[in-house]
Structure 1
Amino acid sequence: MTKKISNPEILAVRAAAEADPARGRVWVGLDVGMKSTAVCVLDGDGKVVHQCAMKTHPTEIGRYLAKNFTSNVAAVGMETGAMSVHLSGGLRRLGYQVAVMDALQVHRVLSLKRNKTDTNDARGIAEITRTGRDYLTEVYVKTAACYEVRAQLIMRHRLVQQRVANENMIRGLLRVYGGQVEAGAKSAATYRTRVVEQLLQIQDRDGINMRPRIVPVLDLCERLQADADRIEAELEALAAANPICRRFMAVPGIGAITALSFFTAIEEPSRFRRADDVAAYLGLTPRVYQSGESLVHGRISKMGNRLTRTHLVTAATVMLSATKTFSSLKDWGLRLAKKIGFNKARIAVARKLAIILFGMWRDGTHFQFKTETVEPHRQMMQAAHV
């Protein structure tokens, strides 16, 4: 239980709030750690009202604010991090306005201080919350249901990565003894059969029995694929039950995984003013450096969610190389590939896919295979909703 604080600064803020609520407002900065959080409270003039440290839990912080500052808290600021989702959600449920700011931008501001301490960081975050929120990017915190789906996507991705890494390790070990595993195995069972054949050949040829060392790794690969397949089946069911994801999956190259990945990365389309902002949000637009007469366009920024960006690039690759359905987007991508190369072209197509998916979501439209039918279809859908 937080002890009651009766220092002169807090009493002065309370007295000012009773006379004029606008004068008694305070801004709170949180430097969040895994176990403890440094708290700094500033008044309207930027003076420190109180500083302390407490357990990293929204109930503890909310109890402290409610006991000492009643309803005078204008905003609570923190930077993005592992605990920011839990803390911001809990404080918002308690009725506080919470601003979660980009950690990289906050770090650049806080680095102006000579000494980096939790107390200094909390005061800097409180000052940013009071005066600098218009200059820094405030991060949108997604819902718990959205993070649950994201967790499934991440777990499936990690399981697939681990299986592929183990299979590549086995390939490398067998090459030492002249074994070559045929590529193109789509299942762990098929891969296992090919590896066992190579192990038997090595034993017959060189008298080396590697099965006691390799077979346990093959068993692990099968378990990893079984777990990944189970999660993928759950995700496919979720995508099939979501009408927006079903419309996404009508786009050539877009499957359940990519549809859910994009849906959960955006979650709320109204927070984007333009469709082009979505491509920048996912790191699919080139960096720009301008100084004086020089203007340089670099590689894509790779900001935002890396997993969703990977899914979109994979979908673009499938559209360009594996789908047989004609579309103006695919035709444009293939023509671009002849000019600038396939790798750059698929990034450009991934950027277009992000914009198209967002437009379909925002306008309630469906994917159009020909460019000339896009605008008539959008007008028809708008008229239907009037």
Structure 2
Amino acid sequence: MLKSYGIRLGSVGSKRFSSVVVKQIEKQEKSIVLSITSLLNTFDKVVEEVEKLDKEMLKLVSQDKEVQRLMTIPGVGPVTALTYKTEIFDPTRFNDSKSVGAYLGMTPKQYASGEVQRQGRISKCGSSELRSLLVEAGIVMLTRSKKWSKLKAWGLKIMRKKGMKKAALAVGRKLSVIMHKMLIEQKEFIYGEPKAA
């Protein structure tokens, strides 16, 4: 809406957003100021409610040892860890950790007819929210995480060959398997040791 009146803000955080907008619209007509101010009031209320939810979520995280254990993985924050635990619910219902990737729709579809066997795109049959959070965690691990891990090294190899999208998905799928093992074995994330050159 601001752009239609020639106002450009640049990058502004949610806490300063309202005050910056109010300064920018001071010289506009009353009807414009009124409409934008009412939108700002709604925005401020939404930000306030989100902050309340964040505090409640962090309380839940501080009381849950399994979620804290999952958060030892670089790139996995409270939202991803809580969503994973909620979606998997009872980790013992999976006989094999590798089947969690398929349950979340992160494995390729298989097509077989006679001698023809092809792998398609991922099935996307599970929770789309958790799938996108795991892919995001994979991106963070590959791009922002400073600490070396065996998983990150594996993902970087894929990234060089196939690109960021496929590497992030592969790391996300691998994370789903590792997180399941962590819940079953009640162990923290193992970074691994780099191979001696």
> Could you state the TM-score of these two structures normalised by the residue count of structure 1?
0.47
Between 1:238-247 and 1:331-340, the stretch displaced more is: 331-340
Matching residue of 1:282? 104
Inter-partner Cα distance in structure 2 for 1:328 and 1:287: 27
* 1:291 to 1:197, Cα distance in 2 relative to 1, 3 A: farther
Identity fraction in percent: 35
Alignment partner of 1:175 is 2:35: no
Matching residue of 1:193? 19
Inter-partner Cα distance in structure 1 for 2:48 and 2:121: 37
SS of alignment partner, residue 120 of structure 2: strand
Residue 193 of structure 1: how far off its partner (Å): 3.0
SS of alignment partner, residue 287 of structure 1: strand
Inter-partner Cα distance in structure 1 for 2:26 and 2:120: 51
Inter-partner Cα distance in structure 2 for 1:241 and 1:279: 27
Inter-partner Cα distance in structure 1 for 2:77 and 2:18: 27
Matching residue of 2:115? 293
Structure with higher Rg: it is: 1
Matching residue of 1:311? 133
Note the alpha carbon deviations across 1:63-100, whole angstroms, 9 max, x for none. Answer: xxxxxxxxxxxxxxxxxxxxxxxxxxxxxxxxxxxxxx
Q: 1:272 aligns with which of 86, 89, 94?
A: 94
Counterparts of residues 355-374 of structure 1 (less than 5 Å) = 355-370=177-192
Gaps of at least 5 residues in structure 1 are 1-172, 373-386
Note the alpha carbon deviations across 1:84-134, whole angstroms, 9 max, x for none. Answer: xxxxxxxxxxxxxxxxxxxxxxxxxxxxxxxxxxxxxxxxxxxxxxxxxxx
Is this contact kept in 2: 1:182–1:194, CA < 8 A?
no
Gaps of at least 5 residues in structure 2 are none
Residue 322 of structure 1: how far off its partner (Å): 2.2
Inter-partner Cα distance in structure 1 for 2:55 and 2:66: 18
Alignment partner of 1:259 is 2:85: no
Report 1 or 2 for greater relative contact order, CA contacts < 8 Å, sequence distance ≥ 6.
2
Matching residue of 2:167? 345
> Could you state the TM-score of these two structures normalised by the residue count of structure 2?
0.89
Q: How many residues of Structure 1 are paired with residues of Structure 2 in the alignment?
A: 195
SS of alignment partner, residue 74 of structure 2: coil
Inter-partner Cα distance in structure 1 for 2:186 and 2:143: 28
Is this contact kept in 2: 1:313–1:347, CA < 8 A?
yes
Inter-partner Cα distance in structure 1 for 2:111 and 2:56: 44
Instruction: Indicate the RMSD between aligned Cα atoms, in angstroms.
Output: 2.1
Alignment partner of 1:320 is 2:146: no
Q: 1:238 aligns with which of 54, 57, 60?
A: 60
Alignment partner of 1:215 is 2:34: no
Inter-partner Cα distance in structure 2 for 1:338 and 1:277: 27
